Chains A and B, each alone.
Chain A
Amino acid sequence: MYALVDCNNFFVSCERAFQPELEGKAVVVLSNNDGCVVARSNESKAMGIKMGVPFFQIRNLSDSGRLVVKSSNYVLYGDISRRVMSILRSEAPRLEVYSIDEAFMDLTGVDPATHRSFCLDLVRKVRLWTGIPVSVGIAPSKTLAKVANHFAKRYPGYRGVCTIDTDEKRIKALSLTPVGDVWGIGRRVAPKLEAMGIRTALDFVNMPREWVKGKLGIMGARTWMELQGSDAVPREELEARKTICTSRSFADPIPDLEELSLRVSDFAAICARKLRKENTAAGRVTVFMFTNRFRDDLPQYYPALSVPLDVPANSNQEIVNAALKGLRAIFKEGYGYKKAGVIVDEIIPESQIQGSLFDENAEMRERENVISELMDRFNTSDRSLLRLASQRPGHYAEGIRREHCSKLFSTSWDEMIEVR
């Protein structure tokens, strides 16, 4: 059995954990650059604010004080996510972290009779230790665990934990689940299925497997299997691991930070482009450089540093930003650098970056990445015609708009909560 642990309205919950005055209020969190809504509290959902709505359309609500608007504070969310995942891992070592706010727990070894109480304890513990409310869906397959999780969230009666462990419960849950809400069935496919009279997940599983395979391919057939209760999503798929590296030797050694920053920005942008091409995203960016090791007469320095990303990313902006952060941390004056490079790893399929900027709203994602894509079109692998203005040293985070950003409550000595 799997338990899908999902944080409720994660970004909003992170904000509330350190700003109790936000409790009970309508709150939304905006995407990078304060572009559009990426997270909503239940109160703002009830006001009819949709995911992905541009900020300017709801500005009047925030101006009139009916809505609290927050810029995304990914450092805070990343730290809280690590804490939540660490707690889960200490309780169930076989944990697959699926996104910043979701993880699958393998319940093998836990007595089935105690699954529910085990998970209720977990919900309580995460809430108490971090302030974050979570919901758990328990089922024999990951896709069904997702379905169960929706019910755990929707109906308070479950107290945060819903189990699908009998055929009766499974069929009832599927009959109440619109086919478009099923994990793995995209919003693009759903209208087609509905046009064929397949409205609920139950309608879907009642179709013959061969029919599903013919219409939706092997992935669709797998979703069908999963909804039948068999575990068909392999673990490896959630953990595709690979590395992309871009590096160059320089004709003349580069001694200064400014020039090196431009080069490293380019390398990082190339890595980001490769990620986008493969529809993947990286969780970590490493920058390294070498002096000329064949010149015994010169001082030698071979630094390297890995910068973890709070949310796996593939936009030029984020990858370049991380690489430059790393570069600034390891750069030392007084050396001639002969070679430098950027490595990205902890790579996952883009579709797995959930609850953040990607999966929830394709339209929004396009908006976020339009610049990166434009750059792809103009830039060849060796020459960058278009660069981010911020691919220059010293100008990074300043370029990003974050007018409503909360503090780094949990990670910065100067920004901790104030207590009277």
Chain B
Amino acid sequence: MRISKAVITAAGPGQRNLPLQSLVDQDGVEKSVLRILLEEVLRGGVEEIAIVVAPGDEAAYTRVAGDHAARIRFLLQEEPRGYGHAVWCARDFVGADPFLHLVSDHLAVSRVAKSCAEQLVEVAASEECAVSAVQTTRESLIGAYGVVGGRRLPGRQGLYRVDKVIEKPTPTEAEQQLHVPGLRTGHYLAFFGMHVLTPLVMEQLGRAVETADGSSVSLSGALDELARREQYLAFEVAGWRYDVGARYGLLTAQMALALAGRDRDEVLARLLELLASRELGRQGHV
């Protein structure tokens, strides 16, 4: 299975401005969030990229995309009908091919030399099926994510067969339906915001859009159906995800990038200095 297409969704009402923000990346270069996402995608070996945006956002995105602007194809989500609907807007672009999908309000920072997208694409290509990146998440936090239930693939580190997907489950739902043997008590596998999906997802989304009668459509519902129809795996990528849309999310993402990059020592020194001068100073120690 070769993955040459990527779809980034950026049309959500609270999401539209996030990719336009600037951060200093691991190499110490100032870039927009969008550009960091595009570079992540390109490192995964993708050749064609579509961004699903709200009407009128194309120009701003083109501006911050830097050298990669020419590669982008904008697809419009005319009205905000949910995450699943936004992905479905890329159906013609995707056609009969598998594709990498990222959300625009999360940044991924890898713990290893390969980027998170590279790791994910590699697994999907060798397993020849849909794979979602997941992260072990405490039960107090799962209400913010899509969560999968399933079981570990024997002899495979960090790879799970998905049986069930629920969007923002309650702890009760999670306990009953999403338990994954081998995870610590009260821990579940939540989406990382990065997936390799097969065209069957578009088929499922199409059905959901038809029956939703104008209301919002989720991606998790389609992924739950996918798990019944095809082999669908979850993969614990060696990395962290940062929700740039959360309160102080951008700051946290920036710190994570800096601490994983070239300027780690400098940033640590500045943090220490800040602590020393402000916190300790306030207490009269400095």
A and B are interacting partners: no
- Residues of A participating in the B interface, judged by any CB pair closer than 8 Å: none
- Residues of B participating in the A interface, judged by any CB pair closer than 8 Å: none
